[in-house]
Structure 1
Amino acid sequence: MTVALVLTVGTLVWLALADEDGSGDPAGSDCATAAATVADLSPVQTRNARTITTVARERGLDRSAAEIAVATSLAETGLINFANDGTSDLSAAEIGRPLSPLEREVARRSLAYPHDEVGNNLDSIGLFQQRPTTGWGAPDKLIVPQAASGLFYDHLERIPGWSAGVPWQVAQQVQSSPSRDGGIYEQSYARAVVVVGALWAEPLCPAA
């Protein structure tokens, strides 16, 4: 017989099933019963943070990689998976002009896939606001949290000595954001450390 326990780690509270004998090996799948929610995040934000963290674990990366990625998503989107409606009137700095009709159409392709909200920041898509026009990939990849997380880690692992770097400056190297010094990622980093620390204690389940 199993009983439901409420466990608290840092700011994370989740439900897990444990055997009455304390073995912690419930009947059925832990992945099906875990229902973690970070106290100051919505269920949607928590789900996305879990996906980012799980992808890092599946790739054999350590917690610092997940902390950098979660801090980045917190700063870029608040852990919300954004599609893009192609209506941006901003001028892209690297090309010195607004988006072309073709670039807008490419951004709008993200609307055809599951997403949390709709934005219009240039052609930025997904949890990390990655952009097709700067080489991040196609909208059908950028709008999928698992795929977008993988792309983030691909870029992270190409940075020599990234694990010994200042986390928010490493995030800046990955993202090339207007922040330049990584300041926006520094502001979200402490919170990301708490979130990842709690999620890292969960059973490793396939990323959503």
Structure 2
Amino acid sequence: MSETRDPRPRRRRPFRMAVGLLVLIAVIGYFAVQRYSNGGMGAPYCTATATGAGSAGQDTVQSYEMSPEQAANAATIAAVGIAKGLPDRAVTIALATAMQESALRNLDHGDRDSLGLFQQRPSQGWGTPEQIMDPVYSAGIFYDRLVEIKGYTRLPLTVAAQKVQLSGFPQAYAKHETDATVVTAAFGENGTRATLACSGPAPSAPGDPAKVKAALERAFGKAALHEVRDGAPGGRSAPGRIREAEVSVRLKPDGGPAEARLGRAMAHWAVAQGRELGIARVSYGTSAWIAGKDGDAWKSKGGSGAKDGDGDPHNSGPGEVRIFVAR
């Protein structure tokens, strides 16, 4: 006579699955609370969001999430390309390359003597280790070599990137093209339907307007800063009641789409650099971003000259980027 199996072990499987599901939900809930609780005061992060970017449908919304470090490096890469007057396609190629080579981190190590955002090698003529570890320099020399490639804007991204990088895995760049296109849209010509916003609390320590101005000049070039006012007193930021100083960049009058693109790039660059430079809020045109407020998103203020909750002018004119630094 055969031995009868105890059916109880079978009944435990649904129980174990239920327990596992509850644990998973708890973990997801924990990280959600960390991120969204206390008005966005959890772990800082940045998100590029674009509608209809690249080959996506006109109403398709895409997003790409980054750490503040990654966002700051992406902003620098975009800024250098835009300051050189290069098209969005060049910025997308550069961003996709850096996403693959370093995950947008300024690495001090790599294969053999590779370094930095693009894993460039001093032994291959890319510059000294100190130069390559400077994101502005490394982005600049990448673009310099990219534009030497005839018809690079019409080439598949993998081909254009490979001609610059000479990578052992050229097809790896392709998987980053969509994300790089979304990030590019936040800075480039599609910027009116795309934004970069960063979460986190308002700055708890003062920033330095002179450092903000110097960083702007390094990323975009002195010629791009047509007229700058720095150190002018602002008001008080609504979230933390922190006193502010203002760095205001007035764009060239009648600069057309290129100057508008530059203004959007500067505004989003300031958001990405906010944590490092103590930036409390940014205003461009009729939209504004405030650290630790409004779900960390850009918000329309209803027209130039609108005021925030403290009664301070919060919007800039169409030809001005206003950066408010905690003090």
Which band: TM-score by shorter chain?
0.5 to 0.7
Out of 130, 147, 153, the residue aligned to residue 137 of structure 2 is: 147
Q: Is 2:174 aligned against 1:192?
A: no
Report SS of the residue matched to 2:118.
coil
1:129 to 1:153, Cα distance in 2 relative to 1, 3 A: same
Determine the C-alpha separation between the residues in 2 that align with 1:76 and 1:128. 6
Which residue in 2 is equivalent to 1:99? Answer: none
Q: Encode CA deviations 1:78-127: one digit per residue, 9 max, x unaligned.
A: 000011xxxxxxxxxxxxxxxxxxxxxxxxxxxxxxxxxxx342111110
Which residue in 2 is equivalent to 1:71? Answer: 96
Determine the C-alpha separation between the residues in 2 that align with 1:135 and 1:199. 30
Out of 266, 269, 276, the residue aligned to residue 205 of structure 1 is: 266
Q: Encode CA deviations 1:2-28: one digit per residue, 9 max, x unaligned.
A: xxxxx98429xxxxxxxxxxxxxxxxx
Which residue in 2 is equivalent to 1:61? Answer: 86
Report SS of the residue matched to 2:265.
coil
Mind listing any 5+ residue stretches in structure 1 that lack a counterpart? 1-6, 12-37, 84-118
Determine the C-alpha separation between the residues in 2 that align with 1:64 and 1:71. 11
Residue 107 of structure 2 aligns with an amino acid whose one-letter code is: F
1:8 to 1:191, Cα distance in 2 relative to 1, 3 A: closer
Out of 57, 73, 77, the residue aligned to residue 52 of structure 1 is: 77
1:8 to 1:74, Cα distance in 2 relative to 1, 3 A: closer
Which residue in 2 is equivalent to 1:183? Answer: 171
* Equivalent residues, number: 139
Q: Encode CA deviations 1:105-161: one digit per residue, 9 max, x unaligned.
A: xxxxxxxxxxxxxx3421111100000111111112100001100000011011111
Determine the C-alpha separation between the residues in 2 that align with 1:10 and 1:166. 22
What TM-score do you get using the length of structure 1 for normalisation? 0.62
Report SS of the residue matched to 1:126.
coil
1:42 to 1:138, Cα distance in 2 relative to 1, 3 A: same
Superposition CA RMSD, Å: 2.3
Q: Encode CA deviations 1:35-87: one digit per residue, 9 max, x unaligned.
A: xxx7511010011011000101000001000000000000001000011xxxx
Bigger RCO (CA 8 Å, 6+ sep): 1
Out of 105, 110, 117, the residue aligned to residue 127 of structure 1 is: 117
Which residue in 1 is equivalent to 2:162? Answer: 172
- Runs (4+) of structure 1 moved beyond 2 Å? 7-11, 199-208
Percent of residue pairs identical:
36
1:39 to 1:141, Cα distance in 2 relative to 1, 3 A: same
1:204 CA drift (Å): 3.5
Which residue in 2 is equivalent to 1:116? Answer: none
1:120 to 1:156, Cα distance in 2 relative to 1, 3 A: closer
Does the 8 Å CA contact 2:107/2:117 hold for their aligned counterparts?
Answer: yes
1:8-157 to structure 2, matched below 5 A, reads 9-10=49-50, 40-83=65-108, 119-157=109-147
Does the 8 Å CA contact 2:110/2:119 hold for their aligned counterparts?
Answer: no
Determine the C-alpha separation between the residues in 1 that align with 2:150 and 2:64. 35
Mind listing any 5+ residue stretches in structure 2 that lack a counterpart? 1-46, 52-62, 192-262, 274-327
Does the 8 Å CA contact 2:78/2:91 hold for their aligned counterparts?
Answer: yes
Report SS of the residue matched to 1:40.
strand
What TM-score do you get using the length of structure 2 for normalisation? 0.40
